[in-house]
Amino acid sequence: MATELLIGGRWQPALAGETLPATSPATGEEIAQVAQGDREDAQAAVAAALAAFRGWSGETAFARARALHRIGEVCAARRDELARAATLDQGKPLAEAYDEVDELVAMWHAAAEDGVRLEGSIPSSMGPGKRVLVMRRAVGPVAVVTPWNWPYTMPAEIIAPALAAGNTVVWTPAPSTAYCSALLAAAIADADLPAGVFNFVTGPGPVVGDELVGHPDVAAVGFIGSTATGLAIARRAAGKRLLLEMGGNGPLVVMEDADIDAAARAAVVGCFLCAGQSCTAGERILVHEAVRERFVAALAELAGAQATLGDPFADGTQLGPLNNDAVAAKMDAHVADAVARGARVVAGGRRAQGFPTDLYWPATVIDGVPADALAATEETFGPIAPVIGIGSLEEAIALTNASPYGLLAAIFTADLAAALRFADQARTGLVNINETTNYWENHLPFGGRAGTLSGVGRVGGRHAFDSLTDLQTVVIG
């Protein structure tokens, strides 16, 4: 099939007529020809969003909520199609893809309800007889730039509250999941939003994305992705509203009094969900030396039983291929670096053979990883569990805060006071206690801590509205 661009309510090919093949990481086969938009296409989409803004922002919150509920209903009706497309295009196991679609549906309905509950305030005035109203206002066209690892829910984290607040949207997805993203865009379009309220442009990030985030008529930019790209977007979009969720290197801390089996189960989810391709992945595991040997043995056993690599469409597969060559090469480099520094591979350790593509990496557990190894200091974004020995809670806190990232951390301990001390001192936006790094409820605030390389603003329920609305003060004399 071929995908097109959605601009001003009309599906159309790219103005230059360019397309590129989309190839499945699971099968290696071409699955679609994807329209390759350019700066002119992006400009046309922004013009359509700007033209639609006055009418959409002038609708009642309840009318916009009905539209978002319709989007949720369309996505639910297309659950099978969306899930299978995500597995084919992204590579995640089909069961994970169904979970993502179900969460996507819930996000549309939640944003609809959050939108009708946006409230202002009536602060006191110093002037006798005056009344002051503070109201939330939509900001205008919002450019949304999203990654390939969660091709449905991550766009919805920004698009849904943006639309609910009265903004119009131009969305450009990661090129490597543009095919399944086009199916989500079609579901949104088929919910009968007014023309131009939602627009969809695929194409190279340095071209389409750059044009959108720097366009003078774009009022806000929502981005989820790598730190390097997020920083480039922040510079390009200077002066606009920004909601940036960037990289993470969140540790999972296991103290000497932890429930080892529970911690090992949490590490399997934290390190191997979505093949480790998540900003909330347990990128490094800080384990107290008193229990490190027990923990590593338990983790390796569970990884073999609960992170089965295989055809992502097959029943029982819990780990699919990586999405692209770059992330697979990064896994190669990080594992090799750890081994060269003296670490020991306990499970996995090299690409799997006998699959349709060379993107299949097994669940990999490495013990004795030095704290300065690439796998401990950078975001690997693959199915790796690097275990680093620690001797105290203070060392865990120091290693957590030594990272330039500040997205999340998790700790397993039976000592609540110690867990709360860790939370007080960890420079991260989220801390999970006796829970996996990958645990998050989508109505809760999520984002990077100030002063780190993990972004600004918060996604999650009503908290995303803070970055996607303006406060207007009206003084009545």
**Catalytic residue check, 274:** no
Instruction: Say what angle helices 416-425 and 393-402 make with each other, to 10 degrees.
Output: 30
Q: Which of 4, 279, 378, 379 is catalytic?
A: 279
Sheet with 408-412: strands ordered across: 344-347, 364-367, 384-390, 284-288, 251-254, 408-412, 430-433
Q: Which of 245, 256, 378, 379 is catalytic?
A: 245
Sign of CA dihedral 401, 404, 407, 410: negative
Using the structure block, give the residue that is written with the tokens 């384990």: 287
Residue type, 238: A
**Helix runs in 130-278, H state only:** 153-164, 178-189, 210-214, 227-236, 260-272
**Catalytic residue check, 279:** yes
Query: Is residue 226 a contact partner of residue 209, using CB atoms and an 8 Å limit?
Result: no
Q: Which two tokens stand for residue 438?
A: 């990958």
Burial class (CB in 10 A: 0-12, 13-18, 19+), 144: buried
User: Distance (Å, rounded) from C-alpha 465 to C-alpha 459?
Assistant: 8
- For the chain, the distance separating the N- and C-terminal CA atoms, rounded to the nearest angstrom, is 61
User: Distance (Å, rounded) from C-alpha 65 to C-alpha 358?
Assistant: 44
3 state SS for 101-121: HHHHHHHHHHHHHHHCCCCCE
By annotation, the residues acting in catalysis are 245, 279
